[in-house]
Amino acid sequence: MKKKLVVLTGAGVSAESGVSTFRDSNGLWENYKVEDVASIEGWYCNPALVLDFYNQRRAQLATVRPNAAHYAIASLEDEWDVTVITQNVDNLHERAGSTRIIHLHGELTKVRPENCYNDRDNYSEETVFDIGTDAIKPGDLAPNGAQLRPHIVWFGEAVPKIEAAIDAVEAADIVLIVGTSLQVYPAAGLYRYARMDAPIYIIDPKDVSVRDSRLTHIKDVATKGMETFKNLLKSVD
């Protein structure tokens, strides 16, 4: 039986593919306030602006490809039982070949009715529609008659898949963190659910604030850091 490896990924993985991040100084976010396009309040205030913003992000997604880090993560499945938990809303892990992915913050290529938020509001996978990189606009309605909205977890909304992510981390024999600053909660606290005997590796070119005896810091970008990590795995039983 394969041992379990959980990979928690963030914007730093997709950034090397050319995907704009929150903190880019020259990306899609530069001309927008986060609260205007990534909060439920922003949606209520100006849904047309929000739809246009995510249409731009989908259009950009159509122009990028998975990078070496995405493929390296997917290749871990050859030897390990891998679960990818990602804060990214793109589909680059899927396109690289990863088969078990938990999208904590939603998926850019999907939409749902605006009146379906979570389990308490009758949210279910049956209400989610895959539109690929197509645009949606005001007046595009779901079968229930409600306006379609991006299938994104915005600031101020619950994270429906956090429990599944916690379960995966608790069961993991090894935890790998790639491309995330561990600043956005609840995702930032997931590593704390790892077993005490489970080693934790973090790939980040910058210093990390996490202090944990289980932690090994690979100080590099995602693509190069994954090469180092795979070499380290060879010494793991």
Exactly one of 70, 93, 103, 105 is catalytic; name it: 105
Q: Mark whether 70 is an active-site residue.
A: no
Q: How far apart are CA 179 and CA 237, in angstroms?
A: 25
Vertex 193, ends 235 and 105: CA angle to 5°?
Answer: 100
Residue 88 backbone dihedrals phi, psi, to 5 degrees: -80, 145
Under 8 Å between Cβ of 17 and 188: no
Q: Tokens representing 89?
A: 């809303």
Q: Phi/psi class of residue 88: alpha, beta or left (left: φ > 0; alpha: ψ in -120 to 50)?
A: beta
Buried b / exposed e across 199-232, counting CB within 10 Å, b at 16+?
bbbbbbeeebeeeeebbebbeebbbebbeebeee
Under 8 Å between Cβ of 5 and 176: yes
DSSP H stretches of helix in the chain: 11-15, 34-37, 40-45, 47-61, 68-75, 92-96, 162-171, 222-233
Provide the β-strand partners of residue 203. 178, 218
Vertex 61, ends 162 and 121: CA angle to 5°?
Answer: 35
- List residues with catalytic annotation: 105
